[in-house]
A and B are shown apart, each in its own frame.
Chain A
Amino acid sequence: MIEIKDLHKSYKMGSNSLHVLKGINFKVEEGELVAIMGSSGSGKSTLLNILGMLDSADSGEYTLDGVPIKNLSETKAAQYRNKFLGFIFQSFNLINYKSALENVALPLYYQKVPRKERQEKAMKYLERVGLKPWADHLPSELSGGQKQRVAIARAMAGEPKVLLADEPTGALDSKTSYEVMDLIQKINDDGNTILVVTHEEDIAHMCKRIVHLKDGVIVEDKKIEQVRAEQYV
């Protein structure tokens, strides 16, 4: 599903240049649930941004679902993001004046799905994350865990190939974090490919594979026995 080869990325800051990714190679198959671990500043978000076509690498190859991702125009990148990817952010990034339902429907809007169909689909995904009764509520009326569930529903609404989550539990207490991980596991059980960036061991162990980043390279990449989050909920 995802294949990257010798990926390099550095940030220029004045005359200095910060080499963040120093040759990353890895492959993600369909249906995987991968944790990307590493200490703060190790380049996890940078990697995820490149995978999400929000940023571009300096060199290296990136193929997503057989499509080479290279020199994309803004418009093309937007189209690919819309079609291939779903994003889940640490701070949820819901649009505060739109109801839960409208937030979930937004990727469908950019897919030019007709309004009625959009609403129905969005409702289906809200139901999936257990928030159907909250459809008409604004984000400000929801708890942190609920917000993240809305965000997950939104990420899934466009039916992307890959879900990218950057510290999805970073802003949540541990109980709520497990609820969110439980949801992510269940979505993965349905066959969705998910990448989760985290620096928390327990969250990482709820995935099926851990990729460890350090000083811009992958120092460890191992399959693990998944810890089910359900038992902590």
Chain B
Amino acid sequence: MFDRDIWQEIFNTLKTNKLRTFLTGFSVGWAIFILVMLLASVNGMQNGFVSQFNDDATNSIFVRPGTTSKAYGGFEAGRRIQLKNEDLEYIKQSFPNDIEYISARYYANATARYKSETGSYSVHATHPDHQAIEKTLVVAGRYINEADVINKAKVAVIGRKVAEDLFKNEDPLGKFVEFNGLPFRVIGVFTDDGDDNAERRVYAPVSTYQRIYGNTNDINIIALTYNPTYDLTKALEFSERLEILMKRRHKIDPDDQAGLYVWNYAEAFDNISSFTAVLKGIGIGVGFLILIAGIVGIGNIMVFTIKERTKEIGVRKALGARPRQIVNLVLLESVFITAISGFVGLLFAWVILAAVGPMIQTPAFSNPSVNLSTVVTATIILIIAGVLAGLLPAMKAANVKPIVALSDK
């Protein structure tokens, strides 16, 4: 393999057939280029999805009530389910080991006013745990705490956009802003990278809003994160248990999908993973088809060069070259052209991705790139491709009868 004579021969054939070598090499290089670009695109898409979801903790589960679609337990279908504070307590006590953070969420809208500035914002009334679940980044002041909830304090954590709208250049911390005419003290400002809309939001203690809206203990959604040590199977198994328990508690048919939703982030993430896996599969498939064209091209050229070198091969055989040695020579040459061309294609793709990739930062597509495993896979593919391309020509070469060397025609 690392025999100088073999390499000398390979370089000689390549040198005497420069254009042909280039053209065939190009087809393989192009194939690898496209393959890598496709894989990188899928990668970019995956990155895009992940960064969109990363807004929330990756282990979050949302319990959302609906309207029953099936009659069950003496109730008619079409019953609206309402979650209450007690549900939250019930979940907390039922799954002490499964739950990391848990918070209620109560939705409201607020027309806000500070001095002469006004605006309309959505209010998420929550527990302190909500910060961790939603990964809310407080950049000034603090988030809601237990005391706020117990005291039903009229405090608010406002989004950066809200602060800009209402307070202009003033520091909002400690100032009072009116929500629907009620004064709330601003205790914090938060940001949300990736989503401007989230910054037009206001967080307030859940208890405060429940009192404002007629002393209810209704809640809209229960958000929680499960034990972060759980893997996907355990996470899915837990949300299953949670769903069964909640449906039983609210007398909903276990098969009624409309009565109560338990939305598990892990599950959605799993769906996305299989979606991008399919895309990846398609990318690999297309790349392979193009690569096959390249392999056929190289095989074709090699058959041609073998034909031209028939006499030389005959002489070698007369001098004692074994069929195996001839086969090895041709295969090595084929693998060499294939591998070099492939790597040139890979390098091109890599350079382009390195230059352009980081600039692409749209929500659905970010930082497409080639990783080491792609390179390793490509190398293995190229070597196999080279062997495949060289197989037929090698067999042809091995079958050359040395007698042709003697016949001087």
Contacts and interface: CB of A to CB of B under 8 A. Distances in A.
**A, B in one complex:** yes
Nearest to A87: B318
30 contacts: A45-B407, A48-B406, A54-B318, A54-B402, A54-B405, A74-B322, A74-B323, A74-B398, A75-B322, A75-B323, A78-B321, A78-B323, A79-B320, A81-B318, A81-B320, A82-B320, A83-B320, A87-B318, A87-B319, A89-B405, A89-B406, A93-B315, A93-B318, A95-B315, A95-B316, A97-B12, A102-B5, A107-B319, A110-B319, A111-B320
Interface residues of A, number: 33
Interface of A: 45, 48-49, 52, 54-55, 74-75, 78-79, 81-83, 87, 89-91, 93, 95, 97-98, 102, 106-107, 109-111, 115, 154, 158, 166-167, 170
B311 interface: yes
Interface string B1-16: 0001100110010001
B408 interface: yes
Nearest to B404: A54
Interface residues of B, number: 27
Interface string B305-345: 00000011001111111111100000000000000000000
Given A91-B408, A97-B12, A54 B323 contact: no
A138 to B, nearest CB: 11
A41 B316 CA distance: 26
B278 interface: no
B150 interface: no
A52 B319 CA distance: 10
Nearest to A90: B408
A110 B325 contact: yes
A49 B401 CA distance: 11
A174 to B, nearest CB: 19
A82 B407 CA distance: 19
B4 A154 contact: no
Contacts of B4: 115
Given A93-B315, A97-B12, A115-B4, A110 B405 contact: no
A106 B318 contact: no
B316 A54 contact: no
B212 interface: no
Contacts of A49: 403, 406
Contact of B311 (A48, A93, A109): A93
Nearest to A95: B312
Nearest to B324: A75
Closest 7 CB pairs of A and B: A82-B320, A110-B320, A97-B12, A78-B322, A93-B315, A54-B403, A107-B319
Interface string B229-252: 000000000000000000000000
A75 B324 CA distance: 8
A165 to B, nearest CB: 11
Contact of A158 (B9, B317, B320, B398): B320
Contact of A166 (B5, B401, B406): B406
A93 B312 CA distance: 8
Contacts of B325: 110
A54 B401 contact: yes
Nearest to A55: B403
Interface in B367-409: 398, 401-403, 405-408
B319 A45 contact: no
A86 to B, nearest CB: 9
A154 B320 CA distance: 12
A49 B109 CA distance: 101
A106 B408 contact: no
Given A93-B315, A95-B312, A110 B406 contact: no
Given A54-B403, A111-B320, 10 more contacts: A54-B405, A74-B322, A75-B322, A79-B320, A79-B322, A83-B320, A89-B315, A93-B318, A106-B319, A115-B4
B406 A54 contact: yes
Nearest to A97: B12
A225 B322 CA distance: 41
A78 B406 contact: no
A102 B7 CA distance: 14
A106 B319 CA distance: 7
B323 A106 contact: no
A81 B318 CA distance: 7
A79 B12 CA distance: 26
B12 A110 contact: no
A97 B12 CA distance: 7
Contacts of A45: 406-407
Contacts of A95: 312, 315-316
B408 A89 contact: yes
Nearest to B402: A54
Contacts of B406: 45, 48-49, 52, 54, 87, 89, 166
A172 B408 CA distance: 14
Contacts of B315: 89, 93, 95
A158 B319 CA distance: 9
Contacts of B401: 54-55
Contacts of B321: 78, 110
Contacts of B316: 95, 106, 110
A177 to B, nearest CB: 16
Nearest to B309: A95
Most buried by B among A45, A87, A115: A87
Contacts of B9: 97
A87 B323 CA distance: 19
